[in-house]
Each structure stands twice: as structure tokens, then as C-alpha cells.
Amino acid sequence: MKNILVAVDFKEGTDKLMDYAVDQAQSHKANIWIVHVVAPEPDFVGYEVGPQYIRDMRAAELKMEHRKLMDLANEVSYKGLAAEGIMIHGATIEILTAEIEKLNIDLVVIGHHKHGFVHKAFFGRTDVSLIEHVNIPVLVVPTDV
């Protein structure tokens, strides 16, 4: 095993998810790719761009998420592992499967959040969808515990 992809969303349990990824990387002397997929830009999906303050808030949010991503990569690097953070705009499953292919990933580590029926009906489950789209091992870590 050479490359591990960790899909992060910065919700509760990200530290636990990273601990599992680091354990796997240390055991297999693997590189870690930390990927955070964010919603596409409004222009890309055909929505009118809102007032400037909305764009400014979104830019600040993306900047904060990028900083968190770089902090995670630095924490892994301090442990003696090669790590890189990647933030990409787009549809989550499509982006993750493309990155898995592009980076020659051997293992995916993804979190599982407990959601109710309504949330699952409207938004699906990223962990299950990813398992259905890839042909490599996927370690699903319960992050709500």
C-alpha cells in the first residue's frame, strides 16, 4: 500500500478519522492525501451570484476550510509521514472517484455520520455511494461516537 486518501468534511469526528488514517499510513509506510470536496461555485451551477457580502462570506468560509486542511496535512507531516491536502469544488462522489484514480489510491478512509431518514432520502450517504463506485478497500469510520 502506497497511497491513502482521507475524505474530510470538518464535521464532528475529523480528528478520529485522521487518527485511523495515520495508523494505516504508519503501518504500511503510505502517503496520505487529505481531500476536502466543497460545493461548486454558484456561477458553475447556473445560479445568479448574490450580493457581495454573500460572496465575501463564502470566500472567508473557503479560506478557513483551506487553512484547516493545511493544518491537518502539517500535523500528519510532523508525525513523519508524507501528506498533502487538496480542496476541490464539485460533486463529492465524482470528485473523490476521479482523485482515487488520478492519485493511484490503495485505501480510502471516510467518516460515517448518523443521519435520519429524511436526510438520507434527500442527500444520500457519501460512504455507501463511494463504496459502490470504487474497486479498492474503503475504511468507514463511525465519527459520531
- What's the CATH code of the domain at 12? 3.40.50.620
Rounded to 5°, the CA angle 144-122-98 comes to: 75
In a domain, 33, yes or no: yes
Under 8 Å between Cβ of 107 and 52:
no
Exposure string for 5-17, b = 16+ CB within 10 A, e = fewer: bbbbbeeebbeeb
Looking at residue 50, its pLDDT comes to 67
Task: Name the nearest CA neighbour of 107 among 12, 10, 23.
Answer: 23
Q: Which residue has the higher pLDDT, 89 or 54?
A: 89
Question: What pLDDT digit, counting tens, does each position of 77-93 carry?
Answer: 999 999 999 999 998 88
In a domain, 141, yes or no: no
In a domain, 142, yes or no: no
In a domain, 24, yes or no: yes
Give the span between the Cα atoms of 35 and 11, in whole angstroms.
14
In a domain, 139, yes or no: no
> DSSP state, 85?
E
* Reported pTM: 0.84
In a domain, 145, yes or no: no
Domain count, the chain: 1
Q: 12 vs 22, 110, 143, CA distance in Å?
A: 18, 13, 7
Amino acid at 112: H
What domain range is 18 assigned to? 3-134
In a domain, 121, yes or no: yes
32's grid cell: 496520505
Positive/negative CA dihedral, 22, 19, 112, 44: negative
Looking at residue 60, its pLDDT comes to 92
In a domain, 140, yes or no: no
